[in-house]
Each structure stands twice: as C-alpha cells, then as structure tokens.
C-alpha cells in the first residue's frame, strides 16, 4: 500500500496538517491500495493564495516558455505511462490494456495538443477602431471526477496553464493516485512555485473553498449534475466563471434503414466503455418497434463477448465498477427496472460475478419511456432499449431527457443521419459510430452543463476578452 502524506502547494510537497486520510481501493480486489490526506479548508486556501501570487508572473512569460514547460510534462507522462495505466486500472477498474490506451494515451495526446494550440493562438486582433485582446482569466479551481481521472484533470489543467492561468486541483478522492503521479511529473518539469497546486480532500470542504474563495476567478467542475448545481450556486456569490461538465442519458437512434448488427455492436461499445462509467455513454438505444426482435437477438450475441474480470487480468473486456457504493447503486437500478416491468434481454442483478471486486454483469433491458431506467443516469454497464413508431417519435424520445451531452444516429444514408442529428438537443452526436475527436468541442446542453472542453475550444474557456478603443487617426 502506498501512503501519500502531503499535498502539493506552492511548488513543494507540504505535509498534511490533519491526521485524517482517505483510503483508495483496488476496484478488482477491494483491498486498500493507497491513502491520501484529507485536506482542510486552510490547506485549500493556502493553495489558492499561492496560485494568486504566481498568476501574474506566469501569465507574463513568453508563450514559448509556457509551451516548453508543457512539453516537459508530456515527456514525463510518456516515461511513466505504465505506472499510470496500472494505477488507474486498479483504482477505476478499466482493464489494463484499455487503460493504457484511453486513460493515459488520451491525456498524453491532449497535453501535447494544448502546447500546439498555445503556440498557434492569435492573442489580439483589430476590429474597427478597437484592439481586441485575449487574456488569462486568472486563478482556476479544478474539481475532477474518478471515471476518467487523468484525462478530466488534463482537459482542465493543461489548457488553463497554457492560457497563463494558475491552478488549484482537487482530484477525486476515489481515484487520486494518478493525480499524485501527475503532480510529481509537474514538479519534475520545474514549473514556478504556485503555478500548479494540488489539495486532496472532500468536496464539501476543499471543493467548497475553490467554489467560494474570492481569489479564485473560475471554477471548472466535472461530476454529477447534483454536485454541479451546488458548485454553481456557491460560485455565483462571487460571480466567478463556472464551467460544468455533468451527467448524461445519451440516446443512440437506430433508424429503420440502419445496419442493425453494426448499430447494436457500436451502441453497446459506446455504452459499456469503462463499465458504463462515462457521462457520454450511449445508455438508451432507440429502435423501430417492428425490428425489436432482431435487435434483442443481436444484443444477446454481442453482450456475451464482453468478458467480465479483474482489471489486471489478461482477457478481461469489462472490469469492475469503481466502488462498493457504485456497484450497489447500479444493481438497485437493475432490480428496479425489472420491478417496473422491464424485459431483461441480457445480464441481470443476480448473475455470478468474481467473489472479490465491485463487479456487475453487462445488462440490457427493454423499457418504457416513463420507466426510471429510461430517465435516470445509472453510470454502470446497463443499456435500455426503447421502441418508436416513426422518426418524429424517435427524435422526441431522444430529446425527452434533462440531459444533452452525447448521442448517436445510425443510418445507411449519412445525409439523413446528419439531418436527424441536427434535431437532437445534445452537444455531441456520433454518426454511424464516428470516433471521438479530441480537437472538437466537448460539452453539454441543458443539465449536462455549460462550457466546452478539448482543443482550441477548451483553451478559450480560460481566457477573457479585453477591448482597447483606439482614437482614429486624424484625417
């Protein structure tokens, strides 16, 4: 077991003032794999003040200097890829091979891409008699989740640092080990003291300091919609900028002319990534009612190929959930779905799973639009199927949710699929399984949040506009 005794504040490891620690569990074995300190409000404030003191000098550095620091972080991440992948596979539960590719590979790419965005960014332009400037917003509080922990940290910290902001990070207390390794990498890269700070702890303590402190100019939060509402409420008292990336209940719309086999396989893959612990998971599959029997047969065949097992075991396609609480929550949802009359197509709450670990078998049910499982974000390996009579009903069902983060449309006619996608109120739609694009903006409509991450769009979130009104030259 690895015990981390310190926070990272003002360029150094600072021993925690509280003896209270937070355990980190290996999702496949349930054993405690590490502990991190339970941070206090005073430690969070110390980190904020360090970030405030460092912000002006950091923003004043030449663009190339900041980009070179990011290059060093990229090299550090590459050097510790195996260590990071193993840590995340254990604390989150994603199988190791996939964790290396997704949970570490994506952050490495994103850090490097933000250096490219920084180097090519246009900071000022003439608009009539005005000189319009872009400037860093200042001190940013970053509060991140456990499901894709390193990448969600990256999509906040990397563009903020590139833009000239300084950062205080509160990583998830459930999966913080990867964040500690990142802090070691950033320290080794030699960033000036106070530019990056990390305080472990709980949301109601450390997170609330970041949301309320007058010296924090912006808070960027990824997590549940419930917690995001709380962050927004607290931040409003000091009129901070707030970026929220929250929940989802994304619909995969299978049009009548779609390749059914491809649509079912693609939807299941988009639903079951990370054992369904993804805000953009395609958790509702909308199919023509006259093709339901075909879809159910394809689902049974496809689900059988998702082998459940420990994250470090070769051959595991689907790992455990992140915690006992999450496992129990998902199992309760499955049982509720059956109790409400849902038809179990595959999986279920009572199938055998490994004796140790937080496992749930991948499960698919046919439900009604009014059922709980058609409305609530489950955050586990659960797909629900809903049927529709015509395209109008399909679009209405896709939009019948408080969320609007992801989704998909399947059709052999790409132009038709795009036309349908335009009618769905969501931030991202995959056409016939189109792959994720880390350069494109990522974020939600409605209660899935506000603001965007990824590429130049995520970079611009951390900037302010300033207009200098120039006196026209004399004629």
Active-site residue, selected from the candidate residues 38, 245, 453, 461:
245
For the chain, give every domain's residue range: 2-246+448-467, 250-438
Q: Examine the residue annotation and report whether 165 is marked as an active-site residue of this protein.
A: no
Pairing outcome for strands 139-143 and 166-170: parallel
Query: Which CATH topology does 250-438 take?
Result: Aldehyde Dehydrogenase; Chain A, domain 2 (3.40.309)
H or E element in which residue 176 lies: none
Cα separation, 127 vs 150, whole angstroms: 39
> DSSP string covering 231-285, please?
HHHHHGGGT-EEEEE----EEEEE-TTS-HHHHHHHHHHHHHGGGG--TT-EEEE
H or E element in which residue 161 lies: helix 149-163
Architecture per CATH, domain 2-246+448-467, reads as 3-Layer(aba) Sandwich (3.40)
Task: Find, among 421, 400, 4, the residue nearest to 177 by Cα.
Answer: 4
Q: Does residue 318 sit in helix, strand or coil? A: strand
Q: Examine the residue annotation and report whether 245 is marked as an active-site residue of this protein.
A: yes
Task: Find, among 334, 264, 329, 268, the residue nearest to 297 by Cα.
Answer: 264
Q: Are 459 and 123 in contact (CB under 8 A)?
A: no
pLDDT values of the chain reduced to their tens digit, one per residue, 475 residues: 999 999 999 999 999 999 999 999 999 999 999 999 999 999 999 999 999 999 999 999 999 999 999 999 999 999 999 999 999 999 999 999 999 999 999 999 999 999 999 999 999 999 999 999 999 999 999 999 999 999 999 999 999 999 999 999 999 999 999 999 999 999 999 999 999 999 999 999 999 999 999 999 999 999 999 999 999 999 999 999 999 999 999 999 999 999 999 999 999 999 999 999 999 999 999 999 999 999 999 999 999 999 999 999 999 999 999 999 999 999 999 999 999 999 999 999 999 899 899 999 999 999 999 999 999 999 999 999 999 999 999 999 999 999 999 999 999 999 999 999 999 999 999 999 999 999 999 999 999 999 999 999 999 999 999 999 999 887 6
Active-site residue, selected from the candidate residues 142, 279, 377, 461:
279
Query: What's the pLDDT score for residue 190?
Result: 98
pLDDT digits (tens, 9 = 90+) for 344-390: 999 999 998 998 999 999 999 999 999 999 999 999 999 999 999 99
Q: Which residue has the tokens 């190339």?
A: 64
Contacts of 380 (CB under 8 A, 6+ apart): 275, 276, 277, 321, 326, 327, 329, 330, 333, 360
């Amino acid at each position: 077991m690895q015990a981390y005794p310190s926070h990272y504040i003002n360029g150094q490891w600072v021993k925690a003032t509280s003896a209270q620690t937070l355990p980190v569990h290996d999702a496949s074995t349930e054993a405690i794999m590490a502990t991190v300190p339970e941070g206090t409000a005073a430690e969070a404030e110390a980190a904020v003040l360090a970030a405030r003191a460092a912000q002006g000098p950091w923003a004043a550095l030449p663009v190339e200097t900041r980009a070179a620091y990011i290059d060093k972080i990229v090299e550090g991440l590459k050097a510790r890829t195996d260590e990071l992948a193993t840590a995340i596979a254990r604390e989150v539960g994603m199988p190791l091979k996939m964790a290396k590719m997704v949970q570490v590979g994506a952050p490495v790419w994103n850090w490097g891409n933000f250096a490219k965005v920084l180097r090519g960014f246009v900071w000022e332009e003439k608009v009539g008699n005005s000189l319009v400037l872009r400037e860093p917003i200042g001190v940013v509080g970053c509060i991140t989740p456990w499901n894709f922990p390193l990448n969600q940290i990256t999509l906040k910290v990397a563009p903020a640092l590139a833009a000239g902001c300084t950062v205080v990070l509160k990583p998830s207390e459930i999966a913080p080990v990867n964040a500690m390794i990142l802090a070691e990498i950033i320290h080794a890269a030699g960033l000036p003291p106070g530019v990056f700070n990390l305080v472990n702890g709980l949301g109601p303590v450390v997170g609330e300091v970041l949301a309320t402190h007058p010296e924090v100019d912006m808070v960027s939060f990824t997590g549940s919609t419930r917690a995001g509402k709380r962050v927004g409420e607290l931040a409003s008292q000091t009129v901070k900028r707030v970026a929220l990336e929250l929940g989802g209940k994304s619909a995969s719309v299978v049009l009548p002319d779609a390749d059914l086999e491809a649509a079912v396989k693609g939807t299941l893959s988009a639903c079951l990534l990370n054992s369904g612990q993804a805000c953009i998971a395609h958790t509702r599959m909308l199919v023509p009612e006259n093709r339901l029997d075909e879809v159910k047969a394809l689902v049974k065949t496809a689900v059988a190929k998702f082998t459940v097992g420990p994250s470090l075991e070769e051959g595991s396609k689907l790992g455990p959930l992140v915690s006992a609480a999450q496992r129990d929550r998902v199992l309760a949802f499955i049982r509720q779905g059956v109790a409400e009359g849902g038809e179990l197509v595959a999986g279920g709450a009572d199938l055998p799973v490994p004796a140790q670990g937080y496992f749930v078998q991948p499960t698919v049910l046919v439900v009604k639009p009014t059922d709980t499982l058609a409305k609530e974000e489950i955050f586990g390996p659960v797909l629900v199927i809903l049927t529709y009579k015509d395209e109008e009903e399909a679009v209405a069902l896709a939009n019948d949710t408080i969320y609007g983060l992801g989704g998909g449309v399947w059709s052999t006619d790409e132009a038709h699929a795009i036309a349908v996608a335009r009618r769905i109120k969501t931030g991202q739609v995959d056409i016939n399984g189109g792959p994720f694009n880390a350069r494109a903006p990522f974020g939600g409509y409605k209660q899935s949040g506000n603001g965007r991450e990824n590429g130049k769009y995520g970079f611009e979130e951390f900037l302010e506009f300033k207009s200098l009104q120039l006196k026209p030259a004399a004629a």
